[in-house]
Chains A and B, each alone.
Chain A
Amino acid sequence: MEPDAIDFTKTAALGDPSTEAGRGALAEIFRLYFENAAAACTDMRTAGSPDEVRRHAHRAKGASGIVGVVRMWRLFADVEARAAAGEAIGADTFDDLESHLAALRLAAAMKLGVDLQ
């Protein structure tokens, strides 16, 4: 994983990993993030138009920014831009997004010491 795939300096603002309450807060938000990001990928696969894909990508990008998942921010931004240009996004792109999400979910769980499944 490249060093900036997840910006863990941002997670400090979301919850203190040295306390039980903080770990709970981090687990809640990251679990929710990965669930929603995976759902966004599914929604984009079944979207009826590039504009619908663009909206899902834009929304997922914003959430990625909040939790500091920089790699997904970039990937969703790329999909958003391509869809905004009217491109029909192929299944390989969504396969790629889901693959990155799975790797990042594992990396975040290990780093934060929380179960994100």
Chain B
Amino acid sequence: MTPASPPPPFTVLIADDHPVVRIGVRNILASAPEFVVIGECSDGAATLEAVQKLAPKLLILDLAMPKMSGIEVLRALRTSAPSLSTLVLAATVDRRQTVDVLRLGARGILLKDVVAERLTTACRAVIAGHYWLNDQTVTDIVQAMAEPASLQASDAVGTLTARQLEIVNAVVEGRSNKDIADKLSISEETVKRHLTAIFDKTGMSTRLELAMYAVKHGIGIEN
């Protein structure tokens, strides 16, 4: 029997207008064999073209770029490349920007002063379907995500059934509907019906908002 060959590496596109950032990210990822950098871009318009041409698995995206900002790139990619995982790099990011990029489909935000320590971990997390936020930022984000929700939202936790709480847990873990269905031995349709009921009860409208809501209310947090 021949040994199984390793899975192909995840393809990565780096988009940042600063050459030091691009080289730094490339060097760090070079030490992680599960990633291969297939392209680098220094402006937003070139990034959009490269995503279409190279179809990377992961986009590492700066917010402040010439021609098109990272926010504009995310907005364009939301429809043209919905399966792309995006990790945003930022020197600093305020609460509203963070909420905006997550709502536009980014899976994580990493501040540039911790890139050396956390880049590979963050890349693995977002590729696995999880959300990656710097620990310090989570509380702020939870507050910002909760702001538009009704006051009734905080009272809704007690109305969730045991099954609905299991599903919320799975959403926090970043699981897809299919994963949740397999895990709970139910159909995807049933998962969707539960999610609809959960959204109605909590006042949330997306999985991310639900995950943040769950974090705020201590649902699905094992550690």
Residues of A within 8 A of B (CB): 9-15, 25, 28-29, 32-33, 36, 55, 58-59, 61-68, 70, 73, 77
B90's nearest neighbour on chain A, judged by CB, is A62
Contact assessment for B116 and A10 in the assembled complex, using a CB-CB cutoff below 8 Å? yes
Q: B18 in the interface, Cβ–Cβ < 8 Å?
A: yes
A60's nearest neighbour on chain B, judged by CB, is B18
Contact assessment for A36 and B117 in the assembled complex, using a CB-CB cutoff below 8 Å? no
For B27, what are the chain A residues with a Cβ–Cβ distance below 8 Å?
13-15, 25, 29
Are A59 and B64 also in contact (CB < 8 A) when A65-B112, A65-B115, A66-B116 are? yes
Contact assessment for B21 and A62 in the assembled complex, using a CB-CB cutoff below 8 Å? yes
Of B23, B91, B92, B119, chain A has the most CB atoms within 10 Å of the CB of B91
Q: B72 in the interface, Cβ–Cβ < 8 Å?
A: no
B162-201 interface (Cβ within 8 A of A): none
Of A25, A55, A59, A77, chain B has the most CB atoms within 10 Å of the CB of A59
The count of A-to-B residue pairs whose CB atoms sit within 8 angstroms is: 72
For A11, what are the chain B residues with a Cβ–Cβ distance below 8 Å?
116
30 contacts between A and B (CB under 8 A): A9-B116, A9-B117, A10-B116, A13-B28, A13-B31, A13-B116, A14-B27, A14-B116, A25-B27, A28-B23, A29-B23, A32-B23, A33-B20, A36-B18, A58-B91, A59-B17, A59-B18, A61-B91, A61-B112, A62-B62, A62-B89, A62-B90, A63-B20, A64-B113, A65-B114, A65-B115, A66-B24, A66-B25, A66-B116, A73-B113
Bound form: Cα–Cα A63–B89 in Å: 11
Contact assessment for B112 and A62 in the assembled complex, using a CB-CB cutoff below 8 Å? yes
For chain B, the bracket of interface size reads 20 to 34
Residues of B within 8 A of A (CB): 17-21, 23-25, 27-28, 31, 62, 64, 89-92, 111-117, 119
CB distance from B199 to the nearest CB of A (A): 37
CB distance from B163 to the nearest CB of A (A): 44
For A67, what are the chain B residues with a Cβ–Cβ distance below 8 Å?
20, 24
Bound form: Cα–Cα A15–B112 in Å: 17
B112's nearest neighbour on chain A, judged by CB, is A65
Apart from the given pairs A32-B23, A59-B18, A77-B92, 17 other A-B contacts in the complex at a CB distance below 8 Å: A13-B31, A14-B24, A14-B27, A14-B28, A32-B19, A55-B64, A59-B17, A61-B92, A61-B112, A62-B21, A62-B62, A62-B89, A62-B90, A63-B112, A66-B24, A66-B25, A67-B20
For B25, what are the chain A residues with a Cβ–Cβ distance below 8 Å?
66
For B18, what are the chain A residues with a Cβ–Cβ distance below 8 Å?
36, 59, 62-63
CB distance from A57 to the nearest CB of B (A): 10
